[in-house]
Amino acid sequence: MLKLAIVLALPLFLNPLLGQTPASGSIHGLVTLTESGAALHGATVLVTPGSRLAETDEKGEFTFRGLPPGRYTLVAHMHALTGEKVILSVVAGEQSEIIIPLGVSPLRESITVTASGKDETVAESFMSVTSLDGYQLSAKSGSTSLGDLLENEGGVAKRSFGPGTTRPVVRGFDGDRVLVLQDGMRSGTLSSQSGDHGEPVDPSNLERVEVVKGPATLLYGSNAIGGVVNILTDHHILNQHPHDGLHLAITGVGGTANSQGGGSGSFEYGRGDWLLYGSGGGMRTGDYRSPAGKILNSATEMENFKIGAGRYGVRHTFNSNFQRIETTYGIPTQDPADAPLLNMVRNSYRFNGAAKQLGSFLEQFQYDLNYSDYTHKELNAGVIGTQFFNKQFSYRGTFDQKKRGPLTGTFGLWGMHRAYDARGAEALTPPVDQNSIALFGLEELRYDRVKFQFGGRYEHNGYSPDGLTRRSFDGLSASAGLFVPLWRDGSGVANYIHSYRAPALEELYNNGPHPGNLAFEIGNPNLKGERADGLELSLRHHGQRFRLDSSVFQYRMHDFVYMNPTGAVQEGLNVYQYLQNDSRFLGAEFRAQNKLLNNLWILSGFDYVDANLTASPRLNLPRIPPGRGRLGFDWLWKSLSVRPEVILTNKQWQTAPAETATAGYAVFNINASYTLTRQHVMHTFAVNTFNLGDRLYFNHLSFIKDFAPEIGRGVRFSYTFRIF
């Protein structure tokens, strides 16, 4: 606790020593279409350092005022359009002018808000981040669950119990070690708890999806010891500025191999400081076809709706919304007489806002309040069996510091109250209340030739189960990072992170049959907190003709919680008991884009992770993704992009006890898109073909891989119309 207090208080002592902010300058710019030179209204421009955002007006212009003298990087984007990063200098008392053209390009300057809590480019982030926006999401517009959406991204695989259940696995970490957020707050679902619980998402109604790989516990909590997946649904929820006028988007999707069909729409209407917005949509798929035949009971259905409003003033902003999402999906089975259906409903209410210009030290205070009411029902022949209820209220307040010399940062508090209840045959635990609270701080010292980042988080978690032993856990996480520019557009990053995780309630209290994990589970109420020491080294180059993102990492996990097979069988399921031991995760990731000709790029990638218990006997951990490579091309002609690729996956022979090996495979896909843009209108057409060789293959991370192969040859069409 004393260490954390020092970390949080350090900015208060450093700021007076760093002196007063010098006289400021400004940047004025124009964003245009690459092809025609027409001004673009509604484009977003990010300037760093400072992480300030602006939106272009009717004339395509933007202005940043009050910038301290120095060098700045500007990145502009709008839906499928992007531009090259621009670096310029600001002089005190002067205004710098710039023109930024936007077009369709595979070389995207991706933006992340998840890694540090502020908007920044992926190239400048200390953490390893994957950020997908409109251009990349168009190829995945028919995904029925979050794991499908992110499958094959570097360092990300999917856990599956069928199409409706997929969830991302990050660097081999799954379940309670990967935290899923929606617009920066916890989603409130139970997908971390069981293999047959999904994380529903409608990709046609998303602005961006970000994956922070590696421990992200400082800002988001002990559940992020393996990584964070942040689903960003609306630009204005996190970025506190208004959008004037009417913005509309309509998307339609259809596909083969699973009889897919669906559509969605969204709108924003802004006037002055006020904004009204909403969205909704639905999607259905039938039983999917594999090269081995139709996979029974694999159909999915999803509906979602959201409405909200906000006021975005100069000094004060607030925003409130309500969202409902319902999904029904089947669990694939070999027995047509046994066709269970699962129904999930999530209602969420959110209120957030900010107070700005708080003085010479603080830039703003931003707060978030979120209540989620989640229900999960399992049905057999129309009869409700087990039901799960998860009511969760969470809050978060963050203070953003003004840049004073080289120092900037964020500090704040977070808390959560959760009421969990399960009823029926699979009610493995009694009702449990969970209460959590945390204090955190993340600071950065930025110089011309080097950047330092350091931070800490203290977190308390308490569990109060009916009739069982109460448990309380207190832990400290801390990090230190070094960012060094090595050459023009190239940099090296080193991170050390000590992270802490409290055991999940199912690890403590489960006791009974759990078909969703194919196990009879015995919890351990005496578990200790889980700790990890991680080291990651990254090398990056983000130039105009070549881009490289590569990382090697090792995490030493102390008192790692795992399911240990006892060798017994009960109620037709293998019996597992939750135990603790030390473990090690070791891996590497590589992604490169190289411009061969004026309109031809080669794309390549590779990722690998090895995970095992370090004690004797040295056992492999279950469901670790095998090594995987990717090779593809991106051919551009005006606004047409054609992207053939091959995904190569190695055999996974390093298996845990009672786990079967999975053969390697190669899958060939071709994605194509065409974007037609005018000053206020955009049309995007996409055709995505997958598994063109109709290859029979199995996902090693699937609970049902022994009888349910992955989807066969298919094609998916989508069209999106936007007014802005």
Is residue 527 predicted with pLDDT exceeding 70? yes
Across the chain, what does the average pLDDT equal?
Answer: 89
Q: Name the residue with higher pLDDT: 578 or 83.
A: 578
pLDDT at residue number 356: 85
Query: Looking at residue 392, what is its pLDDT?
Result: 97
Here the tokens at position 480 are 């230190």
Domains of the chain as residue ranges with CATH: 4-102 (2.60.40.10), 111-236+263-336+372-723 (2.40.170.20)
Burial letters 44-77, b for 16+ CB under 10 A, else e: bbbbbbbbbbbbbeeebebebeebbebebbbbbb
User: What does the pLDDT look like over 30-84, one tens digit per residue?
Assistant: 998 887 788 888 788 888 887 788 888 888 888 988 888 888 888 888 877 877 7
Q: Which residues pair with 551 in a beta bridge?
A: 538, 589
pLDDT at 15 over 70: no
pTM of the model: 0.91
Please state the rounded mean pLDDT for residues 657-672: 94
Structure tokens at 472: 């309380």
Residue 708 contacts by C-beta under 8 Å, 6 or more apart in sequence?
Answer: 162, 290, 295, 298, 332, 702
pLDDT at 109 over 80: no
* Sign of the four-CA dihedral 284, 289, 290, 296: positive
Determine how many CB atoms are found less than 10 A away from the CB of residue 566.
14
Average pLDDT over residues 104-129: 83
Element of type H or E holding 389: strand 383-401
Q: Which helix (H) or strand (E) holds 146?
A: helix 146-150
**pLDDT score for 7:** 44
How far CA 286 is from CA of 139, 200, 289, 297, in Å, comes to: 20, 17, 9, 8
pLDDT digits (tens, 9 = 90+) for 396-440: 999 999 888 889 899 999 999 999 999 987 788 999 999 999 999
pLDDT at 20 over 50: no
- Summarize the confidence of residues 18-30 as an average pLDDT: 71
Average pLDDT over residues 628-643: 92
Task: Name the percent of the chain lying above pLDDT 70.
Answer: 95
Question: What pLDDT sits at residue 239?
Answer: 64
pLDDT at 113: 85
- 604, with CB counted inside 10 A (0-12, 13-18, 19+), is middle
- 136: Cβ–Cβ under 8 A, 6 or more apart, which residues? 108
pLDDT at 1 over 70: no
pLDDT band per the 50, 70, 90 thresholds, residue 6: very low
Contact (CB, 8 A) for 348 and 392: no
Is pLDDT of 10 > 50?
A: no
Question: How far is residue 559's CA from residue 556's CA, in Å, rounded to a whole number?
Answer: 10
Q: What is the pLDDT of residue 240?
A: 62
Secondary-structure breakdown of the chain: helix, strand, coil percentages, each rounded to the nearest 5: 10, 60, 35
pLDDT value of residue 12: 45
Q: What is the mean pLDDT of residues 287-293?
A: 95
Q: pLDDT tens across 464-484, in order?
A: 999 999 999 999 999 999 999
